[in-house]
Structure 1
Amino acid sequence: MSITRPHRRTAGPLAAAALAGLLLAGCAGQNAVKPPAPEGQALQGGAPGAAGAAPTGKLPAGGDSASPADGSQGGTGTGAGAGRAEPALARSEPQKITIPSLGLSSSLETLRQNPDGTMQTPKDPALAGWYEPGPTPGSQGPAVIAGHVTWNGASAVFEKLKTMKAGDTIKVNRRDGKTVMFTVDRVAEYPKAEFPTLEVYKNLDHAGLRLVTCGGNFDPKKHYYDSNVVVFARMTGAA
């Protein structure tokens, strides 16, 4: 199956996200492999950058081992976290993410795509990054925000992401002055070899958000985490 060269915002969210699906597949130092585009889909994106054009980026070698996420944290989207989705908004770039339950507040880097087709990852381990060729938080589709879990042995911005639970709130401030609220549906951990790209990045009829970082066991020799932690959320308000 051939790989279509990405073109900026010419396809639906799935096309963009299918490539971001493994955006952290190589985090902590493993070389990334550029995934194929879904059949019949043109890749979204194409500007220098990260999220949307067939990228799977890699995180720089980082830190100590992270404990595996507790499987009990994964919800089904039918309990406390299953807030009713609000109508999607027009596209507007995100500038800041706040997660009250983690005591986390971070401005957002813009992640684009590397020349080799892999997705960029945040340069500053203290900051999260938004995948630019994909949807913006609050617009229809699965917006993606990624961050490191550790960096050279020290904690990074998404170190505690695995502790989030269904019902937790995420706030994203946008360039248009709106603050979009998301409610977590579930938190899940996947072995990198079994990352569910379609489940995470499929087209949506509402504004969704996915927070992604590394998780599972850490191999200090390879500087490699064997899993990804994904937070699934949907927009439930805007101010």
Structure 2
Amino acid sequence: MKPAPGRLRRRTVGPLAAAVLAGLLLSGCGGQDAAKSAAPAGQEAQGGAPAAAGAPPTGKAPAAGSKGGASPGTDTGAGAGAGGGQAEQALARSAPQKISIPSLNLSSTLETLRQNPDGTMQTPKDPALAGWYEPGPTPGSQGPAVIAGHVTWNGASAVFEKLKTMKGGDTIKVTRQDGKTVTFTVDKVEEYPKAEFPTLEVYKNIDHAGLRLVTCGGNFDPKKHYYDSNVVVYARMTGAA
């Protein structure tokens, strides 16, 4: 996928349109063969992650203003999930700069991912780095912020290789441009066949600050350079300092 020419203008889309766009979010998950450029989530040789690494389904990403995609309703479940912990009041928008996951001994600065001309989400260019989907919410602001990363790259481990091993109750920390470090607590970790990616559950409007980490998973087809599933970590903000 080629980077979109310039910054996209923010726009609001209706629930149905947002859901359709979200369904196309990420197509390239695995890892990229040196001679090929990043492609849709799920294909290692043409893009290896949710943005160049391992991420959501093949589809278009939700546009800005839709809070990361919409569903017919709003998730008001701001209470404790499987991971426990009460959601904190959402913060103003501020771009994220770094993500750290103590349980995985992972720390990564964040690339900024926008939309390609065809509406799909860009994937990280560096397999060692995760990327934040800029048209959506920022981590800590209301809505489901999305951070994607590759699972493998040219057969080697990438930033989100161990994402599927996370468990409810694990913590995620995101440092923002405004100097605040936001803590998220994992509610659940799910794996879905790409053809059954739960667009609405991942991108629907929510009344609190949520976070979705996305990469590829499942079985890898070396001939097609393709992972057949996506791993999604669902978390909610439980602290800010």
Instruction: Please give the TM-score of this superposition, normalised by the length of structure 1.
Output: 0.76
* Structure 1 residue corresponding to 2:42, chosen from 27, 32, 43: 27
Instruction: Supply the distance in 2 between the matched residues of 1:180 and 1:100 (Cα, whole angstroms).
Output: 14
Aligned partner of residue 109 in structure 1, secondary structure: strand
Conserved 8 A contact 1:21-1:201? no
Query: For residues 236 and 8 of structure 1, what CA distance do their matches in structure 2 show?
Result: 28
Q: How many residues align?
A: 200
Q: Percent identity?
A: 81
Match of 1:237 in 2: 239
Match of residue 64 from structure 2: 44
| Residue 199 of structure 1 pairs with residue 201 of structure 2 | yes
Aligned-pair CA distance for 1:10:
3.1
Match of 2:139 in 1: 137
Partner of 1:190: 192
Q: Which 4+ residue blocks in structure 1 deviate beyond 4 angstroms?
A: 11-18, 29-37
One-letter amino acid of the structure 1 residue matched with residue 43 of structure 2: A
| CA-to-aligned-CA distance 1:184-221 (integer Å, 9 cap, x gap) | 00000000000000011110000000000000000000
Change over 3 Å in CA distance of 1:16–1:214 after alignment to 2: same
Q: CA deviation at 1:44?
A: 2.6
Partner of 2:211: 209
The amino acid across from 1:212 in the alignment is V
Q: Any residues of structure 2 matched to 1:59-70 within 5 Å, and which?
A: none
1:120-153 CA distances to partner (integer Å, 9 max, x unpaired)?
0000000000000000000000000000000000
Structure 1 residues 201 and 216 mapped into 2: Cα distance closer, same or farther (>3 Å)? same
Cα pair 1:111 1:121 within 8 Å, conserved = yes
Point out where structure 1 has 5 or more consecutive residues left out of the alignment. Answer: 1-5, 38-42, 46-50, 54-76
Structure 2 gaps of 5+ residues are 1-7, 28-40, 48-56, 70-79
Please give the secondary structure, in 2, of the residue aligned with 1:193. helix
Return the alpha-carbon distance in structure 2 between the equivalents of residues 103 and 200 of structure 1.
25
Alignment partners' CA distance in 2, 1:149 and 1:14 = 30
Residue 95 of structure 1, CA deviation: 0.2
